[in-house]
Amino acid sequence: MIELLQKVRVIDPVSEIDELFDVLIADGYIREVASHISDISSDTQIKDCQGLVLGPGLVDLYSHSGEPGFEERETLLSFLQAAAAGGFTRVSILPDTSPVIDNPALVALQHKRAEGQRDRGTEGQRGRGAEKSLSPLLHIWGAITVDVAGKQMTELADLASAGVVGFTDGKPLENLALVRRVLEYLQPLGKPVAFWPSDRQLTANGVMREGTNALRFGLPPIPTSAETTAIAAMLELVATIGTPVHIMRVSTARSVELIASAKAAGLPITASTTWMHLLLDTKAVKSYHSSLHLDPPLGNPSDMAALRTGVRAGVIDAIAIDHTPYSYEEKVQAFAEAPPGAIGLELALPLLWQYLVETEEFTALELWRALSTNPAECLGEKVSAIVPHQPAELTLFDPQQTWKVERKSLYTLSQNTPWLGQQLQGHVVQIWC
């Protein structure tokens, strides 16, 4: 297939370009990028892309798939469809399935499941979104520990050989002796390792960030120190051992300060926050919507402002989606009783663009970098520039098209989002993988 995208706004963080171009794509490769392309074959499909945005494919650092074990929440098929509809060409799933992905056989089985889902094609699909016959590249995180108590390491070298993208449990590891051993063992493997620093003793039964709003809403608070003390301990281990580490789910202003200082000192760390922590703060919890119960919790207004500044400055390298589907029955509970988490693969780009780029708080390049090239680098990968002879791994986005968030418009099987029933502006038109 040969496609000519005319007058499309090309946003390329690799080349630092934000300009209008014609882009010719043929047989999965970018053939030409120019201000005007007229020399085309008769079978070229011409698309008028005025007002549309073309950027490198989006990359998600970590999200949850229900399969295996929780298929009522999400299957691999619905997960990949939702990712494609949201503009993602690479997605990475956490190992906290049932069973946990802690050995090579389960890694191979998960890849086989994903291939089987792709082979099912698009028959019977519902909803909206990008070209559904194309499926994002699926990365799998390997588990660090094999038991619930988190005291025994997996066979890290075997998992690395099985093709995991990196290692994480996706949950706090409070056994610092184990963390130290993991960092020592992983040094020669050359795979990313991601930790979620959180002191669960300080978190206790809290469900909301400590502050005036927690008092006002009568919800058990979580102190900032539950995150910052764990980050400080992690940074000390990295400084001692030297193994590169990715810090997940950063949610407080003080955490941004600690990470900035560590980077200035030359520590080999990267960091991410989630998209919802950039858009909402504790004021939103006034609704007691159970999809606003997150872990870590939404920050106070000063936390949200610091996270936005941190992303723009590069202190926070990437925006993760942390898509966490739950069934209706699981989420239809009181705020504190509902399991924490919300969906996001199909919602993140439209909402981030609407509230950060349209308001001119972020440039389009800053947002796209945090959603594409930087997450890839955190995984030890690269994203190609939008230039001739490069593979076409691209996302075409219409920032003005509106759509309603409802069951029939979503590919994900779950609807645990505070935006359910609302009209959004911004729609992914197509992806190339």
pLDDT in tens, 386-395: 999 999 999 9
DSSP state of 89: E
Region for residue 389 given its phi and psi (left: phi exceeds 0; alpha: psi -120 to 50; beta: otherwise): left
> Total domain count for the chain?
1
Confidence of residue 116 (pLDDT cuts 50, 70, 90): confident
Q: Please pick, among 22, 281, 317, 322, the residue that the annotation labels catalytic.
A: 322
Asked if residue 20 belongs to a domain, the reply is no
Report pLDDT for 146. 87
Note whether residue 294 is domain-resident. yes
Q: Are 12 and 386 in contact (CB under 8 A)?
A: yes
Residue 128: the pLDDT is 47
Give CA–CA dist 361/66, Å, rounded: 35
By residue range, what is the domain housing residue 91?
A: 57-385
**Phi, psi dihedral angles at 240 (to 5 degrees):** -80, -40
Judge whether 10 lies within some domain.
no
Q: For residue 135, name the pLDDT band (cuts at 50, 70, 90).
A: confident
The pLDDT assigned to 385 comes to 96
CA distance 372 to 54: 12
Global pTM value: 0.95
- The verdict on residue 405 lying in a domain is no
Give the Cα separation of 109 and 127 in Å (integer).
28
Q: Kindly state whether residue 351 falls inside one of the protein's structural domains.
A: yes
Question: In this structure, how many other beta carbons lie within 10 angstroms of the beta carbon of residue 242?
Answer: 13
CA torsion through residues 242, 243, 244, 246, sign: negative
Q: Which amino acid is at 153?
A: M
**Complete edge-to-edge strand list for the sheet that includes strand 58-63:** 58-63, 88-93, 137-142, 166-167
Q: What is the pLDDT of residue 126?
A: 39
In a domain, 61, yes or no: yes
**pLDDT at position 7 over 90:** yes
Any catalytic annotation for residue 169?
Answer: no
Assess if residue 26 is contained within a domain: no
Residue 147 is predicted with a pLDDT of: 67
> Is pLDDT larger for residue 433 or for residue 11?
11
* Within a domain: 415: no
b/e sequence 257-271, b meaning 16+ C-beta within 10 Å: ebbbebbeeebebbb
Domain CATH code at residue 111: 3.20.20.140
